[in-house]
Every structure is written in structure tokens, then in C-alpha cells.
Structure 1
Amino acid sequence: MRVAIVTESFLPQVNGVTGSVLKVCEHLRSEGHEALVVAPGPGPSRHGSVPVVRIASAPLPGYAEQRVAYPSWRLAQALRDFRPDVVHLAAPTVLGAQAATLARRAGVPAVAVYQTDLPGYAARYGWRGASQAVWRWLRRVHEMAARTLAPSRHACAELVAHGFPDVSRWPRGVDVQRFHPRFRDEEFRRDLAPRGELLVGYVGRLAREKELDLLREVHGVPGVRLVVAGDGPQRAHLQRVLPRARFLGMVHGAQVARVFASLDLFVHTGRHETFCQTAQEALASGVPVVAPAAGGLLDIVDPGVNGEFFTPGDGAQLQRVVGHLRQDTGARLELAGRARTSVAGRDWTSVGHDLVATYRAVSV
């Protein structure tokens, strides 16, 4: 098949949308399909053998790392020249809305992938009335697609409740070869925790919607060393409020797997996750996950089996959970022993085959 992937985010931006688009490209090429990526610029014009058409964009106010594409004739030209069988809309908002309109006019089916809880972010950032407006806009965009795919049961239910048609679940895979307990590095651990402290870490974007101020409660647990890997607009603030934490900045390649595998606990604090890929990567690395009982994390964390939940926004409860697992080594090791098994079978190949099956179904 010929698949045009129109995405709101792509390299050099690193986030969940970019990561899933890269995996889709990899799967399509490995199975002999043709792919084209259309994304906000600037950035490289190719990713491996996949051409990337860049659309002029501007930084998102308050979050310069994320860019928003302008409406552009280049998108129409790219779709016309490529002649896709299907258009894949990755987290469609602005560029995706234009692509959905063009695809519909051309009679080309589109598959819209819901990946980012923009209504939740709007509410979190205090934009009065914006959450419902965002829901209305997203519903209009997704109504132009032949199928909407959402990554978790919670996300599917939320979309259906807001009137989105033709919603199906399409979860995310995890690379169980890249993320593995064998990458645990004792020398790295000694550098981070020279007194043998319990290593508790977060890996991901440092942004307000992630509710990372809750890490102050973990920061205060005796015998715990907090490790933060990633970057974003809240980094300077977090470094002020977490003075004893180790900030690793952005990590790439093999270093990401080493960080995950070297942790004793992975903590995620944000409730607005449609899935939470980093939680899956931690589990594949043999690391239990402590997370809020909300959103896509409900599909990933199994309390008492591979991690524990805390009430969203409740820092005191988060502190109690981490404190208990620091003291009860046996319970923590039992969770760690079941972590990797809990994501067995969630490989990207199976997920990719399901996606192509959806492409074919809407193209009939």
C-alpha cells in the first residue's frame, strides 16, 4: 500500500507521537509498503528510505520545542504527487485537519490516530472554556476520517462519550529487545546512588501537564535517590524544587535502555496519558511502575502484579507507596519479577499488522 502519514510532530522533536510514527514507518517499509511523512518543519527531509515533506511552522507559545504548521499548498501537492491509498493522521489538530479535508475531497480514506489528551491539557493549563472547544474541534477533524484509533480502553470510552464515530482500540507496541533487564548497569547505579539508595526515576518530557511537581513527595522519602531523564519547559523549575535529584537531560539510543533498566522503580505522575509508552518501556526493562490510576495507565499497570497506583494528584499517597516499596524489598522484587512478563506479546510487529489491516479495511 501507499501510505501518507501526516503528523503534528516529527524529528527532531522527540515525544510519543514522533515515536509511534517512526515505528509505523519502520513497519511499513519492512513489509514492502511505500510511505511518505508530512510534518512541521524545520527538520530532515528523509528518515532512512522514507521521504519527509516539511511544512512551514511556528513554535507553540509557551512550549517552543513543539511546532504548529501553517496551512500550506505544499501539503496538497505532496498528497497529489504521492497518490496514497490511505492517509494516516497522527494526532491530528492543525496540519491533520487540513490533510483530512484534502483526503475527503480526493476520495482517499483516512485513519485518524488519537494520541494526545489536548482537552485535558487545556483544562490543566487553566484555559477557561477551552477544553470543550478542543473536543468540538477534534470531533470535527475525526469525523472526516473513516476510522479513529485510540490507544487504550479509557481513551476509546472518552472519545465515544464525546460523540466520535467509528472508534477502535489500537495499542502501542514495545521493543522488548531494546528494553531489557540485561542493560542494568551497576557502575552507573553507583554513580547515581553512591550510598546504595533506592533509585526512583522518571523518563519523559518535563512539561506542566505531566504534573511533575508531585515528584517533590518522592524527593523527600529517606533512602531514595530521584533520577529525572528528559527535557522540556519545566526543567529549570524542577531543578529548583528538586535540588537533590539527578537530572540527566535528554538521553538517546542505548543510554535510554540503560537508564530504565538501572532503576528500581519508575514513577509517572501525569493523569492525562492516552497510553504512556515510557511505562511499557520500564516494565520491559524489569522495573515496576508507580502511576496515577487514570487514562491509558489503567491498561498498563496491574496493581500488585507489575506496579502500584496512587490517586491522581495525591502526592501524599504517592509518597506512601514509594516509601512502602523502599522498605518492603520482597514486595518490590516480586513486582520487578513480573514486570517484563506483563508486556510479553506487545511487540511492534503485531501492532503494525493490526494497523495495516485497518488501512485495508477502510480502503475497500
Structure 2
Amino acid sequence: MKVAIVAESFLPQINGVTHSVLRLLEHLRDRGHQAIVLAPATTGRTPRRYAGFRVVSLPSVPVPGYPSVRVAATPQWVLERELAAFAPDVVHVAAPFVIGNSALLVARRLGLPSVAIYQTEIPSYAARYGLPQAEPLLWRWVRTVHQLATLTLAPSRYAREQLTDIGVQRVGIWGRGVDSERFDPRKRDPAFRRRYAPHGERLIGYVGRLASEKQIEDLAVLADLPRTRTVVIGDGPRREQLQRALPRARFLGQLTGEALPRAMASLDLFVHPGELETFCQTIQEAQASGVAPIAPARGGPLDLIDSSRTGWLYEPGDLSQLRARARDLLGDDHKRSRFGADARAAVEHRTWPLMCEQLLTFYAEAISEHRSTRIR
């Protein structure tokens, strides 16, 4: 199979979109398929190849107020030239919004089947960034973009319902894999704990981007829990503001390589307070690490956390309930350990190869649907 991947972001930018694309490229390579990547050029060094496949960097401009995020400013004829030359069997569009919209229009013009991966609840970000009046317009844009695709894949049941409610048709569900060898409870690091919990404190951790939509300031409700320390892992445009809002927390920056799974496995509790997660990969990584997560009962966490067994959900906005959930697990070592063990058991089979094979069946479905539509 020949797969053209058009992504709204790529290396060196690290986020959920990039992570999924990298795992997919590795799987396509391992299974003997062919691929090409088209993505916006970004700050830093964008590789010319990944997993042996060519990466085409497209001209881009920074997002106002978030300069590390860039969107492609590429005329459609450039995409048409690249896609026509590669002649893919299917066009995979990762988190389509700007360049993804253009790619879907070009795919339709070239008569190519397409699979759009819905990943980010951008319209709901509008209120977080001071533009609530833009939200309905952005939802209409999401519907317009995804209706161009042969098939759309949402990462969770909640996200699928969001899309069908606004009128998007042909929506399936494709989750994400987790590397349960990389994220493993055995990587719990005594040195990490000595450094950040020198007196045997319980470590509460967050891992992810430091941005408004993640609501990391909600962790302040846990700041005075006795015998606890909070560590924040990641980077982003709100780091300075969050350091002021959470003066007792330790901000470790973005961790990569083995430093990240060691840090994750060394936590006692993982808290992700963001209410706009369509999936939330870091919850899976915490679970694979044997660490019980706590998250709002909205979006992707509804599919990932079996509340009162593999973690805790709390009502969105109810920070007193978040605090109560945290106290429940931090005060009961046996219960916390049991939740962590059950969490790992729930996700360790959900490997990237398994999920990528599932994606290939969705590609085949889109190709079949496209052919039958053309015949009709």
C-alpha cells in the first residue's frame, strides 16, 4: 500500500499528532508499505526522511500567541503536484484544519480516497484563548473539512458523538497505542524520588503541554495536601504563568528518551485536569507505568479510565471532587497500588502495532467505499 500522510505538525515539534504519525510510519516501514509525509516546516530542524520515507516540508507561518506552533501556508498546486507524483492508494490526513483541508480538496480533485484523523477539539479552545464568539464558526469549519474525507476516525466515543452531532457522516473510532515496554512500572527510579520527594512524600505529576486548554492551574487545589509534592513535566507558552500560579511545584521541562518513562513510573498519582482532551495519550502512558490517573469525566478519559478501578474520574469543574479523589488514593497505599496494577493490565495489550493494523483495515474500508461511490 502507498500512503500519503498530510499532517498539521511534525518533527521537531512533539505532540499527539506527531507521535501518532511517527508510530504509523514505523509500522508502515516494518510491514513493507510505502509512504510520504507532507507537513509544515517548523522552528528547528525538520528531518528530510523518517523511517526511510521522504518528508516534504511545506512553507508555514507561526500561530499568533503560540509561536512554536506553525500552520502551512502552501498553495494547493504544491500539494497536488506532490500527491499526483506519489500516486498514493490513500491519503491520511492527521488532525485536518488548514493544510488538511487543502489536502482533502486535492485528494477529491485527484480522485483519491482519504482518511481524516480527528484529534484536537480546536473550536472549544476558542473560549480558552478569549474568542468564544468564534466557537460556532469553527465547529462549522470542522464539519466542512471532515465532510470532504471518505472516512473520518475519532479517537474516542465522546469525540465521535461530537462529530456526528454537528453533521459529520462516515465516522469511525480509532484509538491510540501505548508502548508498554517503554512505559513500565519497573522503571520506577529511586534517584528521581530522592531528588523530588526527599522525605518520602507522595509525588503528584502532570505530563503534557503547558497551555491554557490543559487547565494545569487546577492543580493548585492539591498544593496543600500533606506529605505531597507536585511535579510538572512538559513545556509550552504558559510555563512562566504556571510557575507563578503553582509556586510549590517543580517544573522539569520536556523530558525525552528514557527520562520520561522513568519519571512517569516514579509518580504516585497522575493528574490531567484538561477538559478538552479527545483522547489523552499521557493517561495511557501513566496507566502502562502502573500509575493511577485522575481526570475530568469528559472526552477521551471516559474511554480510558474505568472509574474506581483503573483511576478516578471527577465532574468537570468540580475541583473539590478532584481533591477528594486525590486524597482517596494518596491516603491508601494498598488501594493506589491495586488501581495502578489494574490500570496497566487494562492497557498493556493496546500496542501500537495492533492499533496501526486496525488503521490499515480502515484504509481498506475507505478505498472500498471510494470505489463503490465512483461506480454509483
TM-score w.r.t. the length of structure 2 is 0.95
Q: What SS does the corresponding residue of 2:225 show, helix, strand or coil?
A: coil
Letter in 2 for 1:166: R
Counterpart CA distance in 2 for 1:76 and 1:45 is: 20
Residue aligning to 1:344: 348
Letter in 1 for 2:317: G
Report the alpha carbon displacement of residue 350 of structure 1 after superposing the two structures with TM.
1.3
1:274 aligns with 2:287: no
Structure 2, unmatched stretches of 5+, are: 369-376
Encode CA deviations 1:186-237: one digit per residue, 9 max, x unaligned.
1211111101110010011000000111011122212110011100011001
Number of aligned pairs? 364
Residue aligning to 1:240: 244
Counterpart CA distance in 2 for 1:309 and 1:361 is: 35
Give the RMSD, CA atoms, in angstroms: 1.1
Counterpart CA distance in 1 for 2:241 and 2:51 is: 37
Encode CA deviations 1:326-358: one digit per residue, 9 max, x unaligned.
222222122122120011321111111111111
Residue aligning to 1:48: 51
Q: What SS does the corresponding residue of 1:129 show, helix, strand or coil?
A: helix
Counterpart CA distance in 1 for 2:212 and 2:307 is: 26
Report the alpha carbon displacement of residue 40 of structure 1 after superposing the two structures with TM.
0.3
2:305/2:311 contact within 8 Å kept: yes
Report the alpha carbon displacement of residue 71 of structure 1 after superposing the two structures with TM.
2.7
2:229/2:249 contact within 8 Å kept: yes
Letter in 2 for 1:22: L
Structure 1, unmatched stretches of 5+, are: none
Residue aligning to 1:14: 14
Aligned with 2:359 (options 349, 355, 361): 355
2:29/2:51 contact within 8 Å kept: no
Report the alpha carbon displacement of residue 123 of structure 1 after superposing the two structures with TM.
2.8
Aligned with 1:174 (options 178, 181, 204): 178
Counterpart CA distance in 2 for 1:76 and 1:264 is: 50
1:214/1:313 contact within 8 Å kept: no
Residue aligning to 2:305: 301
Residue aligning to 2:64: 61
Counterpart CA distance in 2 for 1:363 and 1:350 is: 20
Counterpart CA distance in 1 for 2:316 and 2:49 is: 40
Counterpart CA distance in 1 for 2:352 and 2:340 is: 23
Residue aligning to 2:108: 104
Letter in 1 for 2:6: V
Higher deviation after alignment, 113-122 or 333-342: 333-342
Encode CA deviations 1:154-205: one digit per residue, 9 max, x unaligned.
1111111110010001111111111111111012111111011100100110
2:123/2:134 contact within 8 Å kept: yes
Within-5 A mapping of 1:32-43: 32-42=32-42, 43=46
Aligned with 2:146 (options 142, 149, 164): 142
Q: Percent of aligned positions with the same letter in both sequences?
A: 51
TM-score w.r.t. the length of structure 1 is 0.98
Higher deviation after alignment, 222-231 or 118-127: 118-127
Residue aligning to 2:27: 27
Letter in 1 for 2:29: R
Counterpart CA distance in 1 for 2:332 and 2:315 is: 21
Residue aligning to 1:88: 92
2:210/2:236 contact within 8 Å kept: yes
Report the alpha carbon displacement of residue 104 of structure 1 after superposing the two structures with TM.
0.1
1:55/1:75 contact within 8 Å kept: no
Residue aligning to 2:264: 260
Counterpart CA distance in 1 for 2:13 and 2:223 is: 29
Q: What SS does the corresponding residue of 2:270 show, helix, strand or coil?
A: strand
Residue aligning to 1:123: 127
1:200/1:263 contact within 8 Å kept: yes
Encode CA deviations 1:40-73: one digit per residue, 9 max, x unaligned.
0032221130111011111111111110110324
Letter in 1 for 2:123: P
Counterpart CA distance in 2 for 1:336 and 1:101 is: 45
Within-5 A mapping of 1:298-337: 298-337=302-341
Counterpart CA distance in 2 for 1:324 and 1:359 is: 44
Aligned with 2:292 (options 282, 288, 293): 288
Counterpart CA distance in 2 for 1:299 and 1:193 is: 32
